[in-house]
Amino acid sequence: MPDIPGAKPVPLSQLTRAQDRLTFVYLEHSVIHREANAITARDTRGVVHIPAATLGALLLGPGTTVSQQAMVLLAESGSTAVWVGEHGVRYYAHGRSLARSSRLLQAQAALVSHEPSRLRVARQMYAMRFPGESTSGLSMHQLRGKEGARVRRLYREHADRTGITWTRREYDSADFSAGTLVNQALSAANTSLYGVVHAVVVALGCTPGLGFVHTGHIRSFVFDIADLYKAEIAIPIAFDIAAAEPMDVGAETRRAVRDYLRRHRFLEQCVDDISSLLREDDGTIEYGPEAFDDPDVVMLWDYDGNDVSSGVSYQEEHEL
């Protein structure tokens, strides 16, 4: 049998476990190719080699050109590629997910499909916004009211801090310039946050459409996760930018969000928070769920709750 052309796939024993990998590497204005089992990034300053087996997700920013062989290597190494805007502030598309196991996706689907567990995760999301306060006995109606009061208070506080006249949150998604300067900045900051969170969600193998608080939209889960950080990131940045009255409020806001996320290692925090929210009570759901111990096992579902092996003839069992 003739040899298959190209470099041999990376042996499974050489793949780094997901939790020990570089979580995300961002590249822009470079040509991405492959040399043996390393990803190469070339720009005007030279060439950088990135061991593919230690890479979690590659964020491809503006001005990147990627070869087919580089994408093959990422797939063989259990890594993913996500096409994004500048430093991830916009999500455009993605390749395969970081996880080879579907455990995190199955956990998300199971939790959102069962009303008690969905309520538990939703309460946990709200609890992350109210540190030190219990949300266990509150209904979704009560939680929405509590969150609404918190956000209105934050708007007033930041308006007083920056000297901006604030009335209410008002925007037209079809006409960005129709809003006030601070409303434009809030829209730009929120959109930037959605883009980065979307990149993390798809890299982990979760589905953006299955939300716990939001529902009915293809990015419901993205909105759920992004809402955890708006008070800390989007709102203060938006008021600061609006107070400076820049010529291009949208661009300035996106750059400010980008810089904040870089300084505070936001991608890692987002990965940890999603993993924590989707973790079962026994702690079995982790980031990079055993993806590289047994990466290509396919099981068959059985209604009694016990998965069975695929690739096995069950004819005799059927005849019985």
Enter the tokens of residue 54. 């230690």
Alpha-helical regions (H) of 204-234: 220-226
Q: At what angle do helices 103-113 and 266-278 cross, to 10 degrees?
A: 60
DSSP secondary structure string for all residues of 52-78: GGGEEEEEE-TT-EE-HHHHHHHHHTT
Cα-only R_g, the chain = 22
Specify binding-site residues. 147, 214, 227
Euclidean distance between CA atoms 226 and 97, whole angstroms: 20
Using DSSP, state whether 211 is helix, strand or coil.
coil
Binding site, annotated residues for Mn(2+):
147, 214, 227
Structure token digits, residue 209: 């459409």
For residues 25 and 49, the answer to whether their CB atoms sit within 8 Å is no
How many helices (DSSP H) and strands (DSSP E) are in the chain? 10, 10
H or E segment to which residue 294 belongs: none
Residue 257: count of CB within 10 angstroms of its CB: 28
